[in-house]
């Protein structure tokens, strides 16, 4: 695991003291991010904190922007890699009231449909289970996708032909001035592994809540579909190893896994990072991989796939 001392320090001692004095929630300094990412590798973040309420999140963002401190909201770390040099700034996760799930609110309320409002900090798996128990169908494709709803919405996570963006009625964001905006579906740009407000002024805004349109259904049937998809996932993908799921996006009309396998790269290894022999689009940490091993392997795969097929694979994993 990378050393904390390798980090660039973005905050002055005075800024650290100010943050420590006004922040009442959990706050850690110089945090090795391998412990907070499913790839189990990554350099240190200067500060990692948990925001539990909307007012404290808005105030924090306003302060960070005012101090020109680099910051970013992350979810459960299942699709990020912090480089070995570390993240010079503040990483924010969402807990407390951001984990709530509630029925109703504004929404389409079409016959047979229900709107569920879910906080961005909620585990995706918790929402999938809650929907099954409450007889609400539509999210089964998410069964087995780790991470938070904020991560899933901003990544437009998907599987088996479904995408969370297709269910979104509205998303509530906090912008860089700490202002809250609820954007209806038609105000959003939704594309492959990306969901953003159309208004470019809101670029980089934080997802704090999503309203999803779900269909009433039979709880047992929903549960059975979830179980079936989890079993199919286990059969196809490496399990019990550290990864970030599919490492590269699928290029239009093709699959990254097929291209990597066709280029003969299954089993390619750099340090402790390995191209899975079970699913070529998974880069796995065999135990001792550093972020540098993973990025070196990523570049080698990109290079060799490009030479083999003329296609440049774009990482799905966000490199911080
Ligand atoms: C074993 C495995 C299987 C996977 N299978 C799939 C799959 O089938 N389909 C799929 O799409 N993905 C899959 N993934 C990837 C990942 O689980 C999803 O992309 C997930 O939705 C990311 O959520 P997270 O909370 O972990 O986000 P993080 O990894 O923490 O963050 C991802 C990005 O979202 C941003 N972000 C997070 N929260 C917010 C927020 N509240 N507001 C604004 N931006 C935010 C972060 O800054 C970062 O840029 C898989 C991962 C693993 C490890």
Q: Ligand 1 centre from 155 Cα, in Å?
A: 6
Q: What would the two tokens of residue 191 be?
A: 């594309």
Strand-pair partners of 227: none
For 62, half-sphere exposure in the C-beta direction (CA atoms, 13 angstrom radius) is: 10
Distances (CA, A) of 117 to 5, 108, 122, 131: 41, 13, 11, 12
Q: Which mutation among 142, 145, 284 tests ligand 1's pocket best, with the greatest number of atoms within 8 A of CB?
A: 145
What structural domains and CATH numbers belong to the chain? 4-94 (3.30.43.10), 99-236 (3.30.465.10), 256-319 (3.90.78.10)
Which residue do the tokens 């003969």 mark?
264
**Cα 93 to ligand 1 centre (Å):** 13
Q: What is the pLDDT of residue 5?
A: 42
pLDDT of the residue at 109:
61
C-alpha 14 – ligand 1 centre gap (Å): 33
Average pLDDT, consecutive stretches of 10 residues, N- to C-terminus, the chain (320 residues): 46 95 95 97 97 97 94 97 95 98 72 94 97 96 97 96 96 95 96 94 94 96 96 91 96 96 97 96 96 98 97 97
pLDDT at position 104, please? 81
Query: Which pLDDT belongs to residue 110?
Result: 78
What is residue 2's predicted lDDT score, i.e. its pLDDT? 41
């Amino acid at each position: 695991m990378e050393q904390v001392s390798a980090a660039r320090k973005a905050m002055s001692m005075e800024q650290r003291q100010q943050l420590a004095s006004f922040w009442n929630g959990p706050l850690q300094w110089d945090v090795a991010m391998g412990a907070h990412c499913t790839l189990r590798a990554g350099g240190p973040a200067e500060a990692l904190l948990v925001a539990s309420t909307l007012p404290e999140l808005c105030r924090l963002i306003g302060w960070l922007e005012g101090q020109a401190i680099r910051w970013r909201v992350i979810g459960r770390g299942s699709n990020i890699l912090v480089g070995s040099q570390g993240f010079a700034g503040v990483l924010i996760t969402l807990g407390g009231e951001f984990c709530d799930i509630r029925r109703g609110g504004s929404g389409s309320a079409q016959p047979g449909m229900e709107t569920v409002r879910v906080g961005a900090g909620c585990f995706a798996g918790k929402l999938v289970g809650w929907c099954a128990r409450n007889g609400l169908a539509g999210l089964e494709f998410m069964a087995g996708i780790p991470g938070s709803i904020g991560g899933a919405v901003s990544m437009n996570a998907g599987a088996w032909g479904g995408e969370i963006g297709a269910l979104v009625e509205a998303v509530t964001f906090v912008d860089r001035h700490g202002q809250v905006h609820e954007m209806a579906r038609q105000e959003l740009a939704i594309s492959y592994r990306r969901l953003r407000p159309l208004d470019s002024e809101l670029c980089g805004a934080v997802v704090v809540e999503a309203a999803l349109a779900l269909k009433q259904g039979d709880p047992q049937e929903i549960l059975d579909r979830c179980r079936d998809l989890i079993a199919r996932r286990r059969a196809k993908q490496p399990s019990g190893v550290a990864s970030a799921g599919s490492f590269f996006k699928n290029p239009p009309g093709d699959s990254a896994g097929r291209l990597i396998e066709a280029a003969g790269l299954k089993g390619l290894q750099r340090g402790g990072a390995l191209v899975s022999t079970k699913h070529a689009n998974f880069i796995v940490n065999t135990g001792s991989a550093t972020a540098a091993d993973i990025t070196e392997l990523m570049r080698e795969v990109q290079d060799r796939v490009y030479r083999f097929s003329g296609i440049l694979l774009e990482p799905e994993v966000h490199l911080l």
